[in-house]
Structure 1
Amino acid sequence: MTKPVISIDSDDVDIGGNLSITCMNIRDHPGVSFFIQRVDDVRTSRFQPVLLQDNIATFTITNVTQGDGGAYSCGYEVMANGTVVASTISERVKVTVKAKSWTHLLTRYLYVVGVAILIVAVVIVVAIKLRKRKGSASLNDSTEELNAINPTSTKETTL
């Protein structure tokens, strides 16, 4: 059995991003089953491939955390005469998980602050319009009440 080849889409991944790891077997083996493992993980984590096509398996780790960093390798297993036979393990690829850059964080922060300011401004404008509308309605109501009490006073003021 040939040694598989491992590759990654990027060796630097941001926290919260996605990581795709591809494992390829050069020779065609029917019933092949691929796996990847994090080398420094004592539990020997195994992931299921998301895409398996033409002796190439692609594994995707979504929402990457700091704990997903490290060295990865891959391999495959085939069934031969009723026995599972494992390939040799591929070379290692190192994945570094990094915090998002300060400019990315600053942009996101400014976006949130901008949206909050916009919402506050809309609430203030609506409150002012409602107060003006309510104030003019109560002024008209007060004038009508005064006219009902003393109808002659309005005639004198209009002349």
Structure 2
Amino acid sequence: MYFMRHWSVCHSRQLKKIYEVIERLLTRLYPVISKFGYERAEIPVFAVEKTIKGLLLDSQNCGQCIVGSTGMSCPRNCPKLLRNGPCGGVRTDGMCEVLPAMTCVWVLAWQGNKQMTDTEYPIQVVQPAIDNRLRGSSAWLREVRRRAGETGLEI
């Protein structure tokens, strides 16, 4: 998984484009998903999402994915679970303070963010705190529902 984490950061621009295709597809399927029922759609969609993001990103399935803003580096892989940047304990060689054999998740995030775009850096946007009640649910479906104008999607 650690190798794939690095691979995904190096290929973040391409992965972002693939995600945009998936998001457009799910957005087009929104009327079908809403008729089918969000709760029933959650199980198969989350299974696919968990498999893909687990393999490629070593995703921790928080249900509030921001890898599009963090260079395809899942911030939940940070041993301190920081969502808005490094802890300040990043070693001078870019390695993690807590796990010295691991490259800091936020060093990878910045590298991936630079790969994704030439003009803007979404990594600089402060993200809201994690709502742990959403852990193990589909971030993809939540985003599609948000784009469709649904409200009250916290749980």
Same fold? TM cut 0.5: no
Give me the TM-score of the superposition, normalised by structure 2. Answer: 0.18
Larger radius of gyration: 1
Give me the TM-score of the superposition, normalised by structure 1. Answer: 0.18
**Higher RCO (CA < 8 A, seq sep 6+):** 2
